[in-house]
Amino acid sequence: MLLPSTYLRRKFRTLFMSDVTPSSTLARLEHSWSPRKTLRRLQTHRWTTADLQYFVDFVIACFAFFVAADVSVWLRLGITIGFATLLLLPVTSQFFFPFVPIATWLVLFFTCRFIPEDWRPGIWVRVLPSLETILYGGNLSNILAAHTSSVLDILAWIPYGLFHFGGPFVVSILAFLFAPPGTLPVFARSFGYMNLIGVSIQILFPTSPPWYENLYGLQAANYGVPGSPGGLARVDLILGLDLYTSSFTASPLVFGAFPSLHSGCAVLECLFMAHIFPRLTPVFLSYVLWIWWSTMYLTHHYFIDLIGGAILSATVFYGVSRRYLPEIQFDKQSRWSYDYIELANLRRLPTKARLTKEFDADDVWTPSSFFSGDDTSPLDSPVSEWEIETLADESAAAQIDEFNRPLVNQHSYNR
């Protein structure tokens, strides 16, 4: 009789590794716990303009550390030391380096409540309703929220209060399992920086949401006004719980209507999922429309906010997809099936140029690039060991010389 663990391993291999070539090591993960390995990669790292992203993250983290004076200094130091340790250990840094922009966004979001009021700009109350009327002829949020029911409340709550928070994890799991190695780090960084840009806009350009207009009209707002759950208060009553009323009332960023990060997250997730599973694009678009309706029905956003979030996400996605996002090879079953990676930007080059092109310094978006394992890419590249996302062993760096393998016979370049 098979033990459960043995059965699960065999089932996993059947589902995800049935077409893995014996020599394929591209998808291997790092298992080393030695900080020396990380420090050695750092010493040999070739610094580029792409590394400025980490300087920005560091500046924002320092700002949040010092502005959150009401939080225990020991708690702040503990979080800082803990996260630094995760970045130092190779076995954890392979996951937490791509998580850095997400961590920066979360820190900025939760500490913006501590920003002194005299540092903050004035709150724009009339600009979004005015734009809504000019562009669409009326307040679409109020129109959709004019007729409510328990059924509609639940239908709105499912994407807004559940799928929005679980969506990034689902996308991450699917990207890790079925997309080429390197896709998940691209998604993580795109997701983090999209939200970081969005929160920065909300702090510098504070705007009131539809629920504020419903409660206070268009009178001037101040930072002492508590948040509101909007239509989610009805969901709390239906469920008999206090899931949203207290959390939204104590929101650290009350006046962050524009751009809508609910819309931004949904659109970014849709674009990545459509890249990985193009045949399911209508399903992902349906989810975007569903969450757009829910945000307006629950009076949390104007339609102009949704468009702003969508434009922000589309800009981020198409910016990274043209340079950093690995191409999907549809004959591959899972990430373990890949024995080479083709970047999207190389499709536009002639075959000969693709075979001989060296990566420019700016082609590496991050100290941990989008290649992993012992066998990384079919391209000649001067990247150092530090710039490999996940190294299975010390021999990985030596195999960088094998990047210029003949690819004329590989079908991807004859598509």
The reply to whether CATH 1.20.144 applies to domain 121-321 is yes
Determine the 3-state secondary structure of 238 from DSSP.
Answer: helix
% residues pLDDT > 90 (the chain): 50
% residues pLDDT > 70 (the chain): 76
Q: Which residue has the higher pLDDT, 363 or 144?
A: 144
Confidence of residue 253 (pLDDT cuts 50, 70, 90): very high
Ramachandran assignment for 372, one of left (phi > 0), alpha (psi -120 to 50 degrees), beta (any other): beta
Confidence of residue 338 (pLDDT cuts 50, 70, 90): confident
In the prediction, which pLDDT does 8 show?
A: 64
In the prediction, which pLDDT does 165 show?
A: 92
In the prediction, which pLDDT does 313 show?
A: 97
Q: What is the pTM of this model?
A: 0.80
> How many other CB atoms are there within 10 angstroms of residue 157's CB atom?
23
Ramachandran assignment for 240, one of left (phi > 0), alpha (psi -120 to 50 degrees), beta (any other): left
Lowest mean pLDDT across 80-89, 287-296, 373-382: 373-382
The model's pLDDT over 10-21, given as tens digits with 9 standing for 90+, comes to 665 666 665 666
Helix and strand tally (H, E) in the chain? Answer: 18, 0
Answer whether residue 155 shows pLDDT above 90. Answer: yes
- CA gap 301, 311 in Å, rounded: 15
In the prediction, which pLDDT does 330 show?
A: 85
**For the chain, which residues make up each domain, given as ranges?**
121-321
In the prediction, which pLDDT does 373 show?
A: 35
- Asked if 314 contacts 138 with a C-beta cutoff of 8 angstroms, the reply is no
Determine the 3-state secondary structure of 372 from DSSP.
Answer: strand
Buried b or exposed e, range 336-351, using 16+ CB within 10 angstroms: bbbbbbbbbebeeeee
The model's pLDDT over 43-102, given as tens digits with 9 standing for 90+, comes to 888 888 888 888 999 999 999 999 988 889 999 999 999 999 998 988 888 888 889 999
Confidence of residue 146 (pLDDT cuts 50, 70, 90): confident
Tokens of 58: 């560091």
Confidence of residue 139 (pLDDT cuts 50, 70, 90): confident
Q: Which of 259, 101, 264, 108 is nearest to 193 (CA)?
A: 101
